Structure 1
Amino acid sequence: MKYYAGLDIGGSVARMKIESAEGNVIGEFYGTGGTMNTDGFELCNEKYRKFILPVLKENHLKAEDCVRICIAASGIDSKRQEEECMRSFTEMRFKQESIAVYNDCEIFLHMSSGPAIVLISGTGSIAFARGESGEITRCGGWGHVLSDEGSGFHMGMKVIKEAASHIDGRQNCPVLYQLFAEKSGLTTLDEINVFVNDCLMEKAEIASYSILAEKACIMGEEAGLKIIRECRDELFALVRDVYNKAGLHKYRGEEPIELWYWGSVLLKNKILGAELSQIIDREFPKIIIKVPELSALDTALELAKR
């Protein structure tokens, strides 16, 4: 049977959706993910095979019968990693000419036909842009130590630092502190210090505190709004920098530049999202902001069918 496949491979979870050449959805499948830039080829290759080959077998499909497969994979940060990912799929007998590999964060760029930008802020943050030449440029996304500006992790850290400063008598943010204490159960600087050091590499745990900034803001405390606006400005800087890096400041075309928003910070934090959009509208009148209607997995499948 001839078929199309889309994959969204994150660091923890891998998703695959398959559709027959006649347009019938065969199924959506889940497995263990892997990140090429940190796990390396051997481990990722093993994870890919353990996930994909049983799916094909259970559905009586052959890799060589795939018309096109689009892979949006975490950690595809270089040409070498793209080639390694492609090698993994050719070794599973997918035809090389049927394989398209993208960094999972850039996938939405390919829903635009002209110059475009993708801004993602969830647990981490990153921006991609495609200029008039078609070349794709990137800013940020180099991990929570080096970058991830304006991300859920960085917002969560700002919340924790403000709560710690309140205990230390250096800030006055009783609402934010109370929200933090209720969620974490931590009420002393020693406890917070141990917690942060233990969780420093657990980005999702730290990022889970980011929602407290908006809650404190809605309850009328300035500290929450300050954190939101600091992250807003960091995300604007990502857009500005990738815009210039891709040469879009020289763009003279009539069609607008599409900017795609993705990630929980941009889509769920209504204060940040609205204020950031206002600044972008003012500073970059050629940009129109969009939110993808499809998930990354469904976008990958749609690209496979093009």
Structure 2
Amino acid sequence: MPYVIGIDGGGTKTICAFQEVESYDPLAKPHREGDVGEGTNPLTVGIEMMRARLHHLIHHGLRARGIHPGEVIGICAGIAGTRVEANRLSVLRELEQIGHHLHVNENTIYTVKSDLYVALQGALHPKDEAGVLVISGTGSNAIGMSEDGQLFYNGGWGHLLGDEGSGYAIGLQALNAVCKAYDHRELPTLLTGMILATLKLASEQELIHYIYRDVKNKNEIASLAKLVIEASVESDPVALKILNDAGDKLVDLVRGLRSKSASLDEATPVMVAGSIFTYSDIVKNRFIAGLDVHKLGRYQASFAEPVDGAVQAAMETISEHTVKGDKVDGR
């Protein structure tokens, strides 16, 4: 029986899900389980590492479920770092090579979308034709889709040029707050002891060595956001200010989308995703309040996960080819 594969590939982790075509119901909230692997953003891990990780996830998933490669008729990968067309085409070629190496159906239809696109497709309720999705995890960005299918983006500039309201930005602000507290330029904060203990540093001055010599990637700084969330539970004023500021910055992403498209209005559903929204009620509540105050949209819980959006995109592509009369049957 035919299957499609949906992939949600981010900078930190990748999820690969398998869906039997005949049992797919676009109106039903999915409860499928996907295999989880490491990040596959080619801009951060490189094209070769991306290929190896995707190959492993697909191969392992097929074997674990007893799916013959020839039964796979569609693969959609939503991969971070593919908003630029040249990057998308490069990943598409790699995905086709993976399929060829694994001996999937020769008529398999391959699709590569941005991770933002599949996340939006997963978040949107089937009855909605337009919507906005704001993501705050290690980084931050937003995507909006009008009723005619036109896409609009905001943010996504990376940790050096943007990522406001993200885990990275929150972690960096926490480090900055510790330095300012040490200099008596800002209030003392619980973050000082928490960060020094976590990083195994003897004093604030050792942060200079840590930040300029020891930090290997942005994920390390982003991981400090959990300390800010913990400190906020203890009503630490500095932590509360950092998180509320993050919520405001994420509202600005929606404001930017609204200025790019007149078709997005205060009735447009706005969904959220990412670890910061998941673990910080302060950020989420501040964000929702900001939408309401500035009449930027209507908050709505996400319908499904990003990987489900990739499965949906794979199914839609299969349907389009079926209408055209192309052969896509699994053997």
TM-score range, shorter chain: 0.7 to 0.9
State whether structure 2 residue 302 is matched by structure 1 residue 292. Answer: yes
- Point out where structure 1 has 5 or more consecutive residues left out of the alignment: none
State whether structure 2 residue 86 is matched by structure 1 residue 86. Answer: no
Q: CA RMSD in A?
A: 2.9
Q: Take 2:272 and 2:194, find their aligned partners in 1: how far apart are those partners?
A: 28
Instruction: Give secondary structure in 2 for the equivalent of 1:19.
Output: strand
Identity %: 24
Alignment partner, residue 324 of structure 2: none
Alignment partner, residue 276 of structure 1: 287
Q: Take 1:12 and 1:235, find their aligned partners in 2: how far apart are those partners?
A: 20
State whether structure 2 residue 222 is matched by structure 1 residue 222. Answer: no
Indicate if the aligned counterparts of 1:114 and 1:257 stay in contact, CA closer than 8 A: no
Q: Could you tell me which of 215, 222, 226 is aligned with 1:207?
A: 222
User: Kindly tell me: are residues 80 and 96 of structure 1, through their superposed partners in 2, closer, same or farther at Cα, counting changes over 3 Å?
Assistant: farther
Amino acid of the structure 1 residue aligned with 2:263: Y
- Point out where structure 2 has 5 or more consecutive residues left out of the alignment: 25-30, 317-331
Alignment partner, residue 328 of structure 2: none
Structure ranking higher on relative contact order (CA contacts 8 Å, 6+ apart) = 2
Alignment partner, residue 61 of structure 1: 68
Q: Take 1:211 and 1:170, find their aligned partners in 2: how far apart are those partners?
A: 24
User: Kindly tell me: are residues 53 and 174 of structure 1, through their superposed partners in 2, closer, same or farther at Cα, counting changes over 3 Å?
Assistant: closer
More divergent stretch after superposition (185-194 vs 49-58): 49-58
Q: Take 1:38 and 1:135, find their aligned partners in 2: how far apart are those partners?
A: 28
More divergent stretch after superposition (115-124 vs 210-219): 210-219
State the shift of 1:122 in Å.
0.9
Instruction: Give secondary structure in 1 for the equivalent of 2:91.
Output: helix
Amino acid of the structure 2 residue aligned with 1:86: L
Per-residue CA deviation, residues 252-293 of structure 1 (Å, 9 max, x unaligned), is 88x9312110011122111121111011012125x2222324
Indicate if the aligned counterparts of 2:77 and 2:112 stay in contact, CA closer than 8 A: yes
Q: Take 1:215 and 1:46, find their aligned partners in 2: how far apart are those partners?
A: 36
User: Kindly tell me: are residues 252 and 7 of structure 1, through their superposed partners in 2, closer, same or farther at Cα, counting changes over 3 Å?
Assistant: closer
User: Kindly tell me: are residues 243 and 46 of structure 1, through their superposed partners in 2, closer, same or farther at Cα, counting changes over 3 Å?
Assistant: same
Per-residue CA deviation, residues 11-63 of structure 1 (Å, 9 max, x unaligned), is 35433222333439998434454222344545533443354346546735235
Report how many residues are paired.
Answer: 300
Q: Take 1:97 and 1:135, find their aligned partners in 2: how far apart are those partners?
A: 27
Indicate if the aligned counterparts of 2:72 and 2:108 stay in contact, CA closer than 8 A: no
User: Kindly tell me: are residues 96 and 261 of structure 1, through their superposed partners in 2, closer, same or farther at Cα, counting changes over 3 Å?
Assistant: farther
Per-residue CA deviation, residues 128-164 of structure 1 (Å, 9 max, x unaligned), is 1123442222221222111111111111111111112
Alignment partner, residue 20 of structure 2: 20
Displacement over 6 Å in runs of 4+:
24-27
Amino acid of the structure 2 residue aligned with 1:125: S
Amino acid of the structure 1 residue aligned with 2:248: D
Indicate if the aligned counterparts of 1:261 and 1:292 stay in contact, CA closer than 8 A: yes
Alignment partner, residue 137 of structure 1: 152
Alignment partner, residue 181 of structure 2: 166
TM, length-normalised to structure 2 = 0.78
Q: Could you tell me which of 237, 256, 267 is aligned with 1:241?
A: 256
Q: Could you tell me which of 119, 141, 158 is aligned with 1:126?
A: 141
TM, length-normalised to structure 1 = 0.84
User: Kindly tell me: are residues 199 and 120 of structure 1, through their superposed partners in 2, closer, same or farther at Cα, counting changes over 3 Å?
Assistant: farther
Amino acid of the structure 2 residue aligned with 1:156: G
Instruction: Give secondary structure in 2 for the equivalent of 1:71.
Output: strand
